[in-house]
Amino acid sequence: MSEPQPKPKLKKPRGVARLLDGKCIACGARCQSVCPVNCVEMTETGEPIIETAKCIGCQKCVKICPASALEMFYTAEEQQILAELAASAVPVEEEIDPEAAVLARKLAEYRGVWVFVEQTEGEPAKVSWELLGVGAVLARNLGVELCALVIGENVEHLCREAFAYGASKAYLLDAPVYYHYRTEAYVEGCCHLIAAYKPEIILMGATGMGRDLAGAIATRVGTGLTADCTGLAIDDKRNLMQTRPAFGGNIMATIMCDKFRPQMSTVRPNVMQMPERKEGAEGAIIRDPFTVPEESVLTKVIEIIRDSHSKGAVDITGAEFIISGGRGMMAPENFAMLQDLADELGGVVGASRSAVDAGWMPGDRQVGQTGKTVRPKIYIACGISGAIQHLVGMQDSDMVIAINRDSSAPIFEVATYGIVGDLFQIVPAITQRIRELKQK
């Protein structure tokens, strides 16, 4: 008796994409941008022309079309096979997209979340620890290690500090050439480590140094960089979802870098929550001997002059209480009222951009997308409407108290407590009440 033969496998036809009449909304050539084989041309009116001979039936254009204006077309023969497949239990041999397979293999070589530990003369920038906090969540979701990237001279102590804030490994470049931050040396060092250890995500502070370094690295390694992210998460395909305000802050865009590694983001100070510090936490230090010859670095740092800022200026980003005024303050002299309240609370005065643009407050007091991001214990918004560009800079405060005479002002949507009324009556009344309570 002969053995039963296995059922022959049928290849599932891939079909080709085609445009449905009158449905294209000329969205901006999304179908063209996703086509992996460049078979989509655009007409002058923004409609796609698909070169079917080149189409590989990947369906990317069909899936991305916001107007469902594209569909898959199958010949009569292909339709028959599809019908047979649907009707029978014949095993289907899915055709593997060779391009996708190569890409998946390339991406899989990169593993781990890295956080660049920014330092100046051995002093770390706080944003690095904030990034370890969000980095830990990403690493946990990906099932990979959270690593610190430490570069400088005599900076091993920063590796241990990074362990205290959640890293389990630190890549260390420690040499005299790295004492001062210089783009050339740091880019060389980082690119060497990236090539050697292949991280899938690198986070940096959106500070002067971080912005400079991240852009230079992304250009050199040929990957994407999303600046000033306000949210980071992982999707179901291990991609980093990088959310940031776009179009002048009117929308929040989530940006992905799904074809290149590492995925790089910068985040402004105070946007992410500071993780808990665990004294004595341990990790592995990977000390890499790579250095850059001093003579190849054209930039020489002669002296570091600390921000003149410190002379009488106020750093609102570190304040626990911020009383901010907007256009509703009406005049610069009225900010004295906010200063009185700030003095009673031991806080500082902030401002909306309107107040800064009007010349009522200096630029370093501006809160928001083009100002500072703050995370105080209490943020009191006085005469501020709550435009999205302002909200992105303060909405993560522990408590928001909004004072506005317009009950429909958007600031009330993020407020813990809202007071509808005239700030010129309410603010002095609060200050007065605090003084009375203090005297008791």
Adjacent-strand bridge partners of 404: 420
94-102, 296-304, 342-350, 382-390 -> range binding ligand FAD (CB under 6 A): 382-390
383 counts as binding ligand FAD under rule CB under 6 A? yes
Nearer to ligand FAD, 179 or 424 (CB): 424
Shortest reach from residue 421's CB to ligand FAD, in Å: 7
422 counts as binding ligand FAD under rule CB under 6 A? yes
Shortest reach from residue 359's CB to ligand FAD, in Å: 13
Show the beta-strand stretches assigned E in 292-333.
Answer: 321-325
Region of residue 406 (left: phi > 0; alpha: psi -120 to 50; beta: else): beta
Nearer to ligand FAD, 270 or 404 (CB): 404
CA dihedral 141, 162, 148, 180 (to 10 degrees): 150
- Write out the binding residues for ligand FAD, residues 200-259 only, by CB under 6 A: 248-249
135-143, 283-291, 334-342, 383-391 -> range binding ligand FAD (CB under 6 A): 383-391
CA atoms of 141 and 112, how far apart (whole Å)? 11
Nearer to ligand FAD, 83 or 246 (CB): 246
CA atoms of 438 and 432, how far apart (whole Å)? 10
413 counts as binding ligand FAD under rule CB under 6 A? no
390 counts as binding ligand FAD under rule CB under 6 A? yes
CA atoms of 236 and 331, how far apart (whole Å)? 51
Nearer to ligand FAD, 203 or 367 (CB): 367
Q: Count of alpha carbons within 13 Å of 97, Cβ hemisphere only?
A: 13
- Write out the binding residues for ligand FAD, residues 306-345 only, by CB under 6 A: 326-328
Which of 40, 240, 378, 423 binds ligand FAD (CB under 6 A)? It is: 423
- The beta-carbon contacts of 367-371 under 8 Å, at least 24 apart in sequence, are 367/316, 367/322, 367/324, 367/393, 367/394, 368/392, 368/393, 368/394, 369/245, 369/249, 369/393
404 counts as binding ligand FAD under rule CB under 6 A? yes
25-33, 165-173, 352-360, 431-439 -> range binding ligand FAD (CB under 6 A): 352-360
Q: Which residue has the tokens 């397979």?
A: 101
Kindly write out the interface string for residues 64-93 of this chain, putting x where it contacts ligand FAD by CB under 6 A and - elsewhere.
Answer: ------------------------------
Nearer to ligand FAD, 125 or 337 (CB): 337
49-57, 213-221, 304-312, 386-394 -> range binding ligand FAD (CB under 6 A): 386-394
Helix (H) or strand (E) holding 233: strand 231-234
Region of residue 176 (left: phi > 0; alpha: psi -120 to 50; beta: else): alpha
Contact yes or no for 133/159 (Cβ under 8 A): no
Shortest reach from residue 321's CB to ligand FAD, in Å: 18
Length of the chain equals 440
Residue 247: partners with Cβ closer than 8 Å, 6 or more residues away: 253
Nearer to ligand FAD, 308 or 408 (CB): 408
The residue type of 227 is A
Which stretches of the chain bind ligand FAD, using CB under 6 A?
248-249, 326-328, 352-355, 366-371, 383-385, 387, 389-390, 393, 403-406, 409, 422-424
